[in-house]
C-alpha cells in the first residue's frame, strides 16, 4: 500500500492535512470541525501545563517498546513517535455517552444530515464522479446512492475534513480513555490496536503519522477510515499507483464499496422494508430483543405481529425489526435486511444507517429532477 507522495515524510516531521468527525446521538458519525484545545488537563488536576506529551508516561513508552518488538519496528522511532503525541483533553469528553435518560430522536438526528446544503453538495459530487460511482456499483454491487450517502454523512463530500492530529487522538484514547465509559476496557484495547496500525502503516509507507489529521476518534479521509480499515479495505481505485483517501474521491468511492463487500453487503438486496403492527399478535419485546442483528425470517417476523409490505413478505433472507425513537413521540420502525446491518458495520447505529440511506435517496431524487 502507498499513500500520496505528499505524505512520504520523515516520521518525526509535523505537517498537517485536515479531516474530522462529529459526535451523533449514539456513536461518532459525520465530520464537523472542533478547534483543538491548547491546554491539556490531567485526570486529577483542574489545570495543567499546555502540551502534555506522552514521553512523560511510562505506560505509553512501555507500549511503544512492546509494539516495536511485536512488529519488528525501530524501537527508538516508535518511542519518539508515541512520546511526541500530545494529550487532548477534549477527546475523552467527546467519547462519553449521553447522560442516562437522554431521549434519542430520529427526526432531529435526520435533520442534522439531510438538508438542502448537503443534498446539493451530494448532487455535485455524484455528477462529478458519476463514472467512478457507476464502476464501483458494477464491480462491487454497492449502489451509488449508498456510497454517496456515506461520504455525505461523514464529511459533507470532503468539505468538513477536520483538524485533530490522528496521532494525538489515538494516543489520548489509548492511554486516557474515560474510565466512566461503560465499555472502557474494551475501547482502550480497540484504540491501542488502531494506534499500532497507524504506526505500522507509517513505517511501511515512510509517512509521518503526525501529518495525518482526522476525527477525534482517529478516522481519516473522505470516508473516515480508521487506520485498520485503511490497511484492510482502502484501494487504489483511480489507478494512479497510490491510495489517497484524503484527496482522491475516486479512491474513497472504491474503498467505501470494498469495505461494504467485506462486511457482508449482498448485491441487489434492499436495505429495509416498511412495517406495520398487528396489535392482536404483536410481541414487540421479542422482536426487539436481537436489536439490529437480522434474526427473523419474514414469516416468523409476521407471526410475531410485524406486518411487512408486499416486497418484505417475499424477502428470503433474515430481517431485524429496527426501532427509531422520536423523543416523546411514537417511535418509527422498519424491517432491516442484511444490507441494513452491513451499513451499521460502518457505524454501530441504526440512526446512522437510516441517515445514510435517506441522504443517498434524497440526492438521487434531486439529480432526477
- Phi and psi for 329 in degrees, rounded to 5? -90, 175
- Which pairs from 310-313 meet CB under 8 Å and 24+ separation? 311/270, 311/273, 312/273, 312/274, 312/275
Strand pairing partners for 321?
335
* Catalytic residue chosen out of the listed positions 154, 196, 323, 362: 154
Cell of 2: 502507498
Residue with cell string 485503511? 230
**Rg, C-alpha atoms of the chain:** 22
Identify the DSSP state of 304. T
Check if the beta carbon of residue 272 is closer than 8 Å to that of residue 324. Answer: no
Any idea what the Cα angle at residue 190 is, between residues 187 and 196, rounded to 5°? Answer: 140
Any idea what the Cα angle at residue 294 is, between residues 229 and 304, rounded to 5°? Answer: 160
Classify residue 45 as exposed, middle or buried by CB count within 10 Å of its CB (0-12, 13-18, 19+): exposed
Identify the DSSP state of 281. T
The CB density around residue 224, as the number of other CB atoms within 10 Å, is 31
Q: How far apart are CA 156 and CA 223, in angstroms?
A: 10
Check if the beta carbon of residue 49 is closer than 8 Å to that of residue 40. Answer: yes
137 is catalytic: no
Residue with cell string 455535485? 124
Q: How far apart are CA 213 and CA 88, in angstroms?
A: 13
Identify the DSSP state of 6. G
Cell of 169: 487522538
User: Is the C-alpha dihedral spanning 258, 264, 270, 271 positive or negative?
Assistant: negative
Catalytic residues: 154
Amino acid at each position: 500500500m502507498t499513500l500520496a507522495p505528499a505524505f512520504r515524510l520523515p516520521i518525526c516531521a509535523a505537517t498537517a492535512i485536515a479531516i474530522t468527525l462529529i459526535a451523533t446521538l449514539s456513536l461518532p458519525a459525520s465530520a464537523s470541525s472542533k478547534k483543538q484545545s491548547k491546554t491539556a488537563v490531567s485526570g486529577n488536576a483542574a489545570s495543567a501545563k499546555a502540551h502534555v506529551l506522552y514521553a512523560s508516561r511510562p505506560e505509553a513508552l512501555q507500549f511503544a517498546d512492546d509494539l516495536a518488538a511485536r512488529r519488528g519496528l525501530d524501537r527508538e522511532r516508535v518511542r519518539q513517535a508515541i512520546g511526541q503525541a500530545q494529550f487532548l483533553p477534549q477527546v475523552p469528553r467527546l467519547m462519553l455517552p449521553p447522560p442516562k435518560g437522554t431521549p434519542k430522536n430520529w427526526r432531529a438526528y435526520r435533520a442534522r444530515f439531510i438538508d438542502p446544503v448537503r443534498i446539493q453538495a451530494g448532487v455535485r459530487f455524484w455528477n462529478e464522479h458519476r463514472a467512478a460511482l457507476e464502476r464501483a456499483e458494477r464491480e462491487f454491487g454497492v449502489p451509488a446512492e449508498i456510497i454517496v450517502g456515506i461520504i455525505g454523512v461523514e464529511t459533507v463530500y470532503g468539505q468538513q475534513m477536520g483538524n485533530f492530529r490522528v496521532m494525538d487522538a489515538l494516543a489520548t484514547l489509548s492511554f486516557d480513555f474515560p474510565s466512566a465509559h461503560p465499555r472502557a476496557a474494551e475501547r482502550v484495547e480497540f484504540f491501542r490496536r488502531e494506534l499500532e496500525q497507524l504506526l505500522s502503516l507509517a513505517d511501511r509507507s515512510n509517512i509521518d503519522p503526525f501529518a495525518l489529521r482526522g476525527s477525534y476518534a482517529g478516522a481519516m479521509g473522505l470516508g473516515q477510515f480508521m487506520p485498520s480499515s485503511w490497511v484492510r479495505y482502502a484501494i487504489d481505485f483511480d489507478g494512479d499507483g497510490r491510495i489517497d483517501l484524503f484527496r482522491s474521491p475516486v479512491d474513497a468511492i472504491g474503498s467505501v464499496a470494498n469495505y461494504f463487500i467485506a462486511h457482508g453487503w449482498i448485491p441487489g438486496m434492499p436495505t429495509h422494508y416498511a412495517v406495520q403492527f398487528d396489535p392482536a399478535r404483536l410481541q414487540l419485546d421479542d422482536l426487539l430483543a436481537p436489536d439490529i442483528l437480522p434474526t427473523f425470517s419474514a414469516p416468523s417476523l409476521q407471526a410475531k405481529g410485524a406486518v411487512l409490505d408486499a416486497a418484505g413478505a417475499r424477502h428470503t433472507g433474515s430481517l431485524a425489526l429496527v426501532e427509531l425513537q422520536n423523543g416523546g413521540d411514537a417511535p418509527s420502525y422498519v424491517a432491516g435486511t442484511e444490507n441494513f446491518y452491513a451499513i451499521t458495520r460502518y457505524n454501530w447505529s441504526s440512526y446512522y444507517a437510516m441517515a445514510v440511506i435517506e441522504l443517498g435517496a434524497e440526492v438521487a431524487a434531486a439529480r432526477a429532477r
